[in-house]
Structure 1
């Protein structure tokens, strides 16, 4: 009797009333947000094409593994709900790789408003990466990927690898961007992507800076970007180039491979004035030598001092850019707020001016671990 009862209960638990077939969904890989001439949201959604080929179908082109659907509406949510009337499937956002924001959108609207749907809905992940595009964002979804299945995955890998190995861009997930947009200083940074029209190649390099959610001025060059990453302690690894010193300046540049870089930025308040103390410790290995010799401790110390001067000069140039634009992209305002909320309430209305007038004290330590497989002399010698 007990066996029969259990069997009946098992049959009752096998209902499929809430089942969903894979053929009901389209899996989103990327989305591009632009504006129409009328000011509406133009949403271009890039889907993975499951019948577009695989390892067993070499005749199918890489680009056919993704397809684009464009919808227009007054809000992002309405544009999303209009996808089925063109595509025949409901958009599934769990596997979205990147969100592309067009330049015109960032200039005219706050990104907090543009991204509200993607941060509020339960499907998009907080780890999805956000990029700002030069020109129209939808154009970038028409470029064929090099090695990945879709251009959405290709852009994500470019941003991740560029941030990890070159330090000429940074990786900003949706959650990190949301935190920056709500910071006390109201300054956020976002990776910048542009295209070489002649070769149809995409490059993720440089950083765009936002004030109160909107794009401000021009983007930072890749060269300046690495120094901003140093100052914000987001530098993972990369290469520091520096000119030959002394009488060998005409011999070009040398380089150091950065193994680790740690920075602490501390605001010091004295008599209603602000001094910002920056301490950076760099550990690296010699990557290229053209004119320097590191065969003695004295020469190695001179080499390290020369790198220190180069890095400090780059940092001060980056700080000068931020102070000229009155943009606290270093998070100093947040530190002042946490340390002294009452003082911050008094400083916040004119924080841009106060940040621009603040004094920076920079201390840098450089340690060269090794010179590679050869002795500490240029290979040419």
Structure 2
């Protein structure tokens, strides 16, 4: 009896130590790290395949470009003649089903695509303007292989071009994800938008902002943001970089960065390093009238001043510079809100959420047409900047 128990225990141990039953050699897999979605535009290779009979019934609606990394051990990713070959490659397919385009790649490569390591999805402008984003991300939210932490961006132009550009030894999809780590250095990077964060606004038909990325040469650049209208789930336009900066000041969602301004009186440069940004928005209701009061506060320090001869700073100069910076921030915020209200007719800054929290009864009356209501809602602004530090320069306060 004891002998039988020992045998059963050994058999159980063998099962537990047998490893992953579904494991595959990494050299046999196509590891996806990025996907670009564009309005249908068949590649030259696809057209050549079709001429030779390589086609199937479909409606050309979406061109999907998949970015795969090349495993270190594979021959295609090794050094040749002393130079490093590309560490990634892209494959494109055009059709009407994103899932089917992935499976179509199995006719062109012996490596099975896997989505466990997908990091970024970039959606091209033409496709985002004509298709509800809820339809475009449906597959990604259903597939068990794809994590909801995948980041979503839009591109003013073709998304595939963003994934096609990279400096040596860099992978475009991973570069895009990494740029978000610089939010403590620049106030023109909007907060990351993952699939998990995207589902709510799309289902709730709430307008929102998504980071825009462009490319030139071999470099990408975060440049402004796309505005998605909640009612349609489609792209309606773009905020430029100053617009994103204004939105970050408005919402207080910045982690740090630089604020630069020239004094109109003496044309002197004032460069302010942001240490903290805070924003408080209060909804006011009087009868049927709704308004908002925005208070923005920031602390920071002088980081650069073009002051000839190292003029000493005095209290009056500091206060004057604070007022100059406050005026600049207020103007940026006003321009951003004016664009949302006057051009796009959307609330992409979550004023509706503030109203919902502070005055739920009023919100229930206006929520069905909130974007239109917001477009005519008055907003007042108050900005307070406090220069607390003057850097290590010899230009000191008197």
| TM-score, reference length from structure 2 | 0.84
Distance 2:350 2:391 in 1: 37
Distance 1:283 1:371 in 2: 12
Count the aligned residue pairs.
367
RMSD (Å) for aligned C-alpha atoms: 2.6
From 31, 36, 46, the equivalent of 2:35 is: 31
Distance 2:218 2:20 in 1: 47
Residues 1:49 and 2:84 are matched in the alignment:
no
Contact 2:166 2:220 in 1 (8 A): no
Distance 2:270 2:223 in 1: 22
Distance 2:11 2:198 in 1: 53
Shift of 1:355: 1.2
Map residues 1-80 of structure 1 onto 2, 5 A cutoff: 1=3, 2-11=5-14, 13=16, 18-22=21-25, 23-36=27-40, 38-50=59-71, 51=74, 52-53=76-77, 59-61=82-84, 64-80=86-102
Distance 2:19 2:180 in 1: 41
Shift of 1:202: 1.9
- The SS at the match of 1:164 is coil
Q: How big is each residue's C-alpha offset from its partner over 1:191-247, in whole Å with a ceiling of 9 and x where there is no partner?
A: 111122xx3432112111011321113x2111221111111222111111112143x
Distance 2:118 2:221 in 1: 20
Structure 1's 121 and 106: CA in aligned 2 closer, same or farther, altered over 3 A? Answer: same
> Which residue is equivalent to 1:301?
319
Contact 2:40 2:95 in 1 (8 A): no
Distance 2:316 2:337 in 1: 31
From 151, 154, 159, the equivalent of 1:132 is: 154
> Which residue is equivalent to 2:225?
207
Comparing 253-262 and 117-126, the one that deviates more: 117-126
> Which residue is equivalent to 1:315?
333
Map residues 1-381 of structure 1 onto 2, 5 A cutoff: 1=3, 2-11=5-14, 13=16, 18-22=21-25, 23-36=27-40, 38-50=59-71, 51=74, 52-53=76-77, 59-61=82-84, 64-148=86-170, 150-161=171-182, 163-170=183-190, 171-183=192-204, 186-196=206-216, 199-211=217-229, 212-217=232-237, 219-246=238-265, 248-249=266-267, 251=268, 253-291=269-307, 295-324=313-342, 325-376=344-395
Distance 1:309 1:121 in 2: 49
- The SS at the match of 2:184 is helix
Distance 1:225 1:5 in 2: 65
Which structure 2 segments of 5+ residues have no match? Answer: 42-58
Shift of 1:179: 2.9
| TM-score, reference length from structure 1 | 0.87
- The SS at the match of 1:357 is coil
Structure 1's 294 and 227: CA in aligned 2 closer, same or farther, altered over 3 A? Answer: farther
- The SS at the match of 1:206 is strand
Distance 1:16 1:207 in 2: 45
